[in-house]
């Protein structure tokens, strides 16, 4: 006889933990405040996740046909700054979350959509980034007919950054993080393009204007602060640790935090531990796994978002004095 586990939040962290528990015979009830499928603000570029983690969670199949991304570049308003190699996957969140949701239900998980619940004993908190005054807006939109020079193109300018990633079927995802002062009165993809223009990324804005925007995929978020979060007990995913988006590691951390939560949740379900001990074990395990990469990412986030620091980094990078490849390793 096992205890049923409830999960609040059906993003990547909640769904993948739910699937892993179901595969081990635990009954799981998942509450998701909104609906599936839906577009989410995300660069849709996954990097650094190991086959071991995906296998342990039992979710490798959901990524089997994802686009393989190998080349990347950093650019500013003047053009190419640096090139590097990456090992990543591109896939739309519409597809990925939808596939995990189907797998969860196929395994017998009970899913309540349109259901917002509160934290409490026996409830894993995977409800995403908490609301906070952060001064950032995140925007994303899919485009067709947009020629990419690398699999992943990153652009930085005073006021924010944006990534273009191939996500398959000829679709490119454009997603960026901008300071709120750059928000304008425009709507949909035009808002994104207008922001890029106002940041001095006119060439990029022109490329997006000449491509075909999928207006239905446009979405935005505001009111969050990257870093370690003070969520309720037994928090996982962004609810516990939100890494700055430029790293392309937030989805990986959502999977890894589900992996950190798996054994403590099993111990609770099997009556081997109480909720408080299980919650503390999850917190310790995530701290060990994420502390260093989060510190590195938060440090680099300052360089990318403080105009003077960014200009200095870009000037040094043009002289090949910034080891982008090494920095990339530090945030994984």
Ligand X SMILES: Cc1cc2nc3c(=O)[nH]c(=O)nc-3n(C[C@H](O)[C@H](O)[C@H](O)COP(=O)(O)OP(=O)(O)OC[C@H]3O[C@@H](n4cnc5c(N)ncnc54)[C@H](O)[C@@H]3O)c2cc1C
Binding region for ligand X (CB under 6 A):
8-14, 31-34, 41-46, 116-117, 126-128, 138, 175, 177, 221, 237-239, 245, 248-252, 254
How far does the chain reach from its first CA to its final CA, in angstroms? Answer: 39
Say if CB 209 and CB 193 are below 8 A apart.
yes
What the block records as the tokens of 84 is 């590097």
In this complex, which beta carbon is closest to ligand X, that of residue 213 or of residue 239?
239
Instruction: Give the residue carrying structure tokens 């528990």.
Output: 21
In this complex, which beta carbon is closest to ligand X, that of residue 102 or of residue 221?
221
Give the HSE-up count for residue 31: Cα atoms under 13 Å, Cβ half-sphere. Answer: 14
3-state SS assignment for residue 212:
strand
In this complex, which beta carbon is closest to ligand X, that of residue 116 or of residue 272?
116
In the bound complex, what is the minimum distance in angstroms from residue 315's beta carbon to ligand X? 26
In the bound complex, what is the minimum distance in angstroms from residue 272's beta carbon to ligand X? 26
- Chain-centroid distance of CA 148 in Å reads 22
In the bound complex, what is the minimum distance in angstroms from residue 78's beta carbon to ligand X? 24
In this complex, which beta carbon is closest to ligand X, that of residue 210 or of residue 329?
329
In the bound complex, what is the minimum distance in angstroms from residue 271's beta carbon to ligand X? 26
- Chain-centroid distance of CA 321 in Å reads 29
The three-state (H, E, C) secondary structure of 140-204, written as one string: EEEEECCCCCCCEEEEEECCEEEEEEECCCCEEEEEEEEEHHHCCCCCHHHHHHHHHHHCCCHHH
In the bound complex, what is the minimum distance in angstroms from residue 251's beta carbon to ligand X? 3
Say if CB 147 and CB 31 are below 8 A apart.
no
In this complex, which beta carbon is closest to ligand X, that of residue 35 or of residue 215?
35
In this complex, which beta carbon is closest to ligand X, that of residue 163 or of residue 273?
163
Among candidate residues 129, 136, 112, the one with its CA nearest the CA of residue 236:
129
Phi and psi based region of residue 232 (left: phi greater than 0; alpha: psi -120 to 50; beta: remaining):
beta
In the bound complex, what is the minimum distance in angstroms from residue 183's beta carbon to ligand X? 14
In the bound complex, what is the minimum distance in angstroms from residue 301's beta carbon to ligand X? 12
Strand 110-113 with 28-32, pairing? parallel
In this complex, which beta carbon is closest to ligand X, that of residue 261 or of residue 313?
261
């Amino acid at each position: 006889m096992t205890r049923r586990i409830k999960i609040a939040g059906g993003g990547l962290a909640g769904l993948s933990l739910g699937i892993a528990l179901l595969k081990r015979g635990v009954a799981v009830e998942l509450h998701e405040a909104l609906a599936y499928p839906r577009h989410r603000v995300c660069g849709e570029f996954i990097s650094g996740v190991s086959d071991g983690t995906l296998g342990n969670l039992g979710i490798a199949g959901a990524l089997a046909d994802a686009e393989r991304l190998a080349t990347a570049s950093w650019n500013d308003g003047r053009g190419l700054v640096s090139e590097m190699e990456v090992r990543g996957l591109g896939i739309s969140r519409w597809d990925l979350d939808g596939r995990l949701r189907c797998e969860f239900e196929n395994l017998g998980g009970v899913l309540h959509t349109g259901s917002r619940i509160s934290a409490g004993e026996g409830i894993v908190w995977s409800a995403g980034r908490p609301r906070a005054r952060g001064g950032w807006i995140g925007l994303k939109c899919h485009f067709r007919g947009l020629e990419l020079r690398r699999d992943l193109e990153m652009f930085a300018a005073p006021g924010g950054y944006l990534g273009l990633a191939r996500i398959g079927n000829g679709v490119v995802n454009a997603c960026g993080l901008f300071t709120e002062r750059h928000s304008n009165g425009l709507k949909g993809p035009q808002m994104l393009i207008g922001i890029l223009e106002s940041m001095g990324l006119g060439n990029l804005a022109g490329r997006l204007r000449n491509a075909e925007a999928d207006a239905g995929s446009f979405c935005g978020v505001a009111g969050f602060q990257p870093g370690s979060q003070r969520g309720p007990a037994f928090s996982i995913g962004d609810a516990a640790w939100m890494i700055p988006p430029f790293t392309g590691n937030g989805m990986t951390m959502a999977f890894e935090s589900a992996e950190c939560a798996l054994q403590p949740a099993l111990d609770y379900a099997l009556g081997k531990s109480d909720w408080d001990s299980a919650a503390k074990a999850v917190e310790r395990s995530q701290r060990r796994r994420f502390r260093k990469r989060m510190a590195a990412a938060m440090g680099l986030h300052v360089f990318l978002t403080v105009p003077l620091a960014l200009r200095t980094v870009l000037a040094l990078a043009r002289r090949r004095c910034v080891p982008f490849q090494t920095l990339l390793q530090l945030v994984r």
